[in-house]
Amino acid sequence: MRPLLIASDHAGFELKEKLKRALQERGVAFDDLGTHSPDSVDYPDYARQVARAISQGEAERGVLVCGSGQGMAMTANRYHGVRAALPWSEETARLSREHNDANVLALGGRVLPADAAEKILQVWLDTPFQGGRHAGRVKKIDGE
């Protein structure tokens, strides 16, 4: 399996670093595409890197972190084959995987406590797509 991709802007940098430690503790391979400091950057630049790689089949999953998670999700969802979810709880993370086959997790570093974000990440990583009746719905997302 290819490594998970992770990226953030300056507002998500601190949470991204905590999530990287959680991934390491779980033995999840990942590539950090930046940013690598809390200096101000533009979130679309980082969301594009992850979304483009997933859209082109170079990666299967990604995690994006900005202040609210919204900007990252909006940018990522513009790419064919990318289904970025912005869960606010473990339940919404589970459903994003089971029902929507979310392949990008967007989180808000300014709105989500780190412990909650780590639990959401864990559920998102551990939950498989259910397929079945949901598979046809997911295909419709990309107009198939």
CATH number at residue 78: 3.40.1400.10
Burial of 143: CB neighbours in 10 Å, binned 0-12, 13-18, 19+: exposed
**Domain with 40 in it:** 4-141
- 99 flagged as catalytic: yes
Among the options 10, 36, 99, 134, which is catalytic? 99
Contacting residues for 62 by C-beta, under 8 A, at least 6 apart: 4, 5, 6, 7, 50, 51, 53, 54, 76, 103, 104, 105
Active site residue 66: yes
Name the percent of the chain lying above pLDDT 70.
99
pLDDT of residue 1: 64
Higher-confidence position of 79 and 131: 79
pLDDT of residue 13 exceeding 90: yes
pLDDT of 82 above 80:
yes
Question: Could you say which of 10, 36, 66, 80 is catalytic?
Answer: 66
| Secondary structure element (H or E) that encloses residue 142, with its range | none
Q: In total, how many domains does the chain have?
A: 1
Average pLDDT over residues 95-107: 98
pLDDT at 143: 82
pTM: 0.96
Q: What is the rounded average pLDDT of the residues 92-117?
A: 98
Across 75-82, average pLDDT = 97
With 0-12 / 13-18 / 19 or more C-beta atoms within 10 angstroms meaning exposed / middle / buried, residue 80 is: exposed
Beta strands in 14-114 (DSSP E): 30-32, 62-66, 84-85, 104-108
